[in-house]
A and B are shown apart, each in its own frame.
Chain A
Amino acid sequence: MKPATQDAARTHRMAFVVMALLFIGAPLVGVYPVFMMKVMCFALFACAFNLLLGFGGLLSFGHAMFLGSAGYVTAHAAKVWGLTPELSIAVGTLCAAALGWVVGKLAIRRQGIYLTMITLALAQMVFFFALQAPFTGGEDGIQAVPRGKLFGLIDLSSTNAMYAFVLAIFLGGFLLIYRIIHSPYGQVLKAIRENEPRTISLGYDADKFKHRAFVLSAALAGLAGGTKSLVFQLASLTDVHWSMSGEVVLMTLVGGLGTIFGPVLGAAVMVTMQNYLAELGAWVTVVQGGIFVVCVLLFRRGIVGEIGHLLKKSL
C-alpha cells in the first residue's frame, strides 16, 4: 500500500471513530434518542443515495420509492405476519433490492437527465401503488407496528435496545458502503462516472456495473426505510412521496457529494433543521429551497467537501 492511501485510510479510520463515538455518546449527554435514531436512518439513506450519485454519477430522483416500499413491507411483515424485527427488515430490504433491480434495468438504458426523469416517474408509480394497494392503509399508512423481539430474545420496545440495534445497522451499513467504494468494483464505478466510453474500451461492461450499483443503493436505502418504520412504528406515504426523494438529494448535496462522511452530516443537518424549525411551518420549505440554491450556486462541494478541500484530504 502506498503511503498516500495509507494516510487516507488512517484519516478515514479516525473520522469513523469520531462519528461512532458521537452517535454512541449523544443519548448519554441528553440528546433525545428517537431524534438520533431518525438521524441515523436518514444518514444511511443518504449514504446509499450517495453511493449511486457520488460514486456512480447516476442521479436518481426517485429514491424515496426504495425507502418507502421497504418501510411498508417491513411494517407489514412485523405487524401482519408477526416476523421478528431482523427478519422483517431483511424482507423489506430484499423487496427494495428487487424493486431496484427492475427500476435499474429500465433506467440505465438512458443517461444523465433522462435517467433522472425515468426514476422520478417510476417512483411516482410506486407512490400511487402505495396510495391504493389494500395492505398499505392508504392515507393512514400502517400504524402501531410492533418493534418485536430481536432474534426472539431482546425486547426492542426498550429505547436503549432499539438505539443499539439502529446504531449497529447504521454503522454496519456505513462500513459496507465504505468497503464497496474502496473495492476494485468501486474503483471501476468511479471510472465509469469519470469517463464511461473509456471504461468500456478497457473491457468493462459499464451497464452491468451501473445496474449493480443501482441494486446495492436501493437495497441499502431499503435497509434504512425498514429500520425507520420500526423506530417510528409507522410506515406512511411521506416516505414514498417524491419530496422525500428531493430531500435525500439535498442531504447529500449539503454534506458533500461523493464524500464518505458528507451524507451523514447532511442528514444530521437536515433532520435537525426540520425538528427545530418545525413551528415555522412552510418557512422550512423556503429555507430548504434557499439552501439548495446557495449550495448549487456557491458551494457545490458541500460542508464535508469544503472541509476536505481545506485540509487537502478526501473525507
Chain B
Amino acid sequence: MEIFGIPIQAMMGQLLIGLINGSFYALLSLGLAVIFGLLNIINFAHGAQYMLGAFGAYLLLNKLGLGYWWSLLIVPLVVGATGVVIERTMLSRLYKLDHLYGLLLTFGLALIIQGLFRNEYGSTGLPYSMPEQLQGGVNLGFMFLPIYRGWVIIASLVVCLATWYVIERTKLGGYLRAATENPQIVQAFGINVPRMITLTYGFGVALAALAGVMAAPIYQVSPQMGADLIIVVFAVVVIGGMGSIMGAIVTGFGLGLIEGLTKVFYPEASTTVIFIIMTIVLLIRPAGLFGTQK
C-alpha cells in the first residue's frame, strides 16, 4: 500500500517518530509555559534540567540499581527540588528587574550544569536499556509499534492533559492564574504567593526531568541532549503562544507530526520546517496561535 508514492510502512514509521518527538516537545514546552506564565521567566536551563532527568535515570540504574519505574518517581522529585533551591536562592532576587536577567541567569546555569556533566561523562552518549515490561512491540497490521514508544506517547498525553486540567479547571489552578494577573490581590486573600511561585518553578523543572527519564531509553543519554532540543522547544512555545498551556500541548504534538511528515516528503527541510512555520505564524499572528496580545 502506498500514499503519494511513499510506502505506508515508511510513512507510519516517520509519523510515529514525529509523534514521539512531539511528546517531548509538548512536555518541555508545557513546563516552559507553566514557568513563564507565573514567573515571567524564560527558563533557559530547561534543556539542562531535561538532561539532568535522563542522567538521573542513568545514575539510579548504574549506581543504586534502581530501575526505570523508580526513576520515573524519584528523578522528577529530586530535580524538581533543585529547581526549588534555584528559585529560592537566585531567581527570586530578579523579579523586580527586567525579564532579560532571568533568561541570562538560567542561561548561565545551563552552561554550568552542561559543562560539569561534560567533564564527568564526555560528549559521547551513554546507553540506557528500557524496562523489561515495555520491551517488544505489537503489530497493528499497517505498522509495527514498539511498546515503549506507545507508552511514551500515552504517558506524556496523560501528563499534559492532567496539567492542563489542574491549571484551567481546579481551584488551585485558579489561584495560579489569578496570581499571574495580580499577585498583590491574591496575596491579600491570604494565599502564600511566593511559595506558590517556588512550587510552580519546581513543578516545571520536574516536568522537564520527567521528560528526560522517558527520553533516556529512546535517545542516548548525553550532556548535550538538551542544548539543541531546547531551541526547537522555544520555537514551539513561540508558535503556540507564550504562556499558553493548551498552545504548548497542541503545537508540541502537532509540530512533531509535521516534522515527521517533512522527513518523508522533503528530508532536507525537516530540521528547518519548525522555524519556517514559526516565521509564517508570526507574520499572521504575532502573539502565536493560542496566545493573547498583551
Contact = CB atoms under 8 A, between A and B. Distances in A.
Interface in A267-315: 281-286, 288-293, 295-297, 300
Shortest 3 CB-CB contacts between residues of A and residues of B: A292-B108, A289-B111, A285-B115
Chain A's interface size range is 35 or more
Contacts, number: 122
B272 interface: yes
Interface of B: 40, 42, 90, 93-94, 97-101, 103-105, 107-116, 118-119, 231-232, 234-235, 237-238, 242, 268, 271-272, 275-276, 278-279, 282-283, 286-287
Contacts of B112: 285-286, 289-290, 293
Contacts of B242: 113-114, 117
Given A121-B238, A128-B272, A286 B99 contact: no
Given A118-B238, A281-B119, A285-B114, A129 B279 contact: no
Nearest to B235: A121
A117 B234 contact: yes
B282 A289 contact: no
B231 A242 contact: yes
B111 A249 contact: no
Contact of A296 (B40, B101, B238, B275): B101
A251 interface: no
A142 to B, nearest CB: 20
Contacts of A242: 231
A296 B278 contact: no
A283 B275 CA distance: 32
B96 to A, nearest CB: 12
B118 A285 contact: yes
Contacts of A122: 275, 278-279
A120 B231 contact: yes
Contacts of A121: 231, 234-235, 238, 275, 278
Q: Which of A125, A132, A249 is the most central at the interface, judged by chain B CB atoms within 10 Å of its CB? A: A125
B119 A282 contact: yes
A53 B155 CA distance: 42
Contacts of A125: 272, 275-276, 279
Interface in A100-139: 106, 109-110, 112-114, 116-118, 120-122, 124-125, 128-129, 131-132
A286 B100 CA distance: 21
A59 interface: yes
B99 A293 contact: no
B275 A132 contact: no
Contacts of B235: 121, 124
B119 A283 contact: yes
A55 B279 CA distance: 26
B115 A286 contact: yes
Contacts of A284: 115
A112 B272 contact: no
24 contacts: A110-B286, A112-B99, A114-B238, A116-B100, A118-B238, A118-B278, A120-B231, A121-B231, A125-B276, A242-B231, A249-B107, A281-B119, A285-B114, A286-B115, A288-B108, A288-B115, A289-B109, A289-B113, A291-B108, A293-B90, A293-B109, A293-B112, A296-B94, A297-B94
B42 A116 contact: yes
B119 A297 contact: no
A268 to B, nearest CB: 20
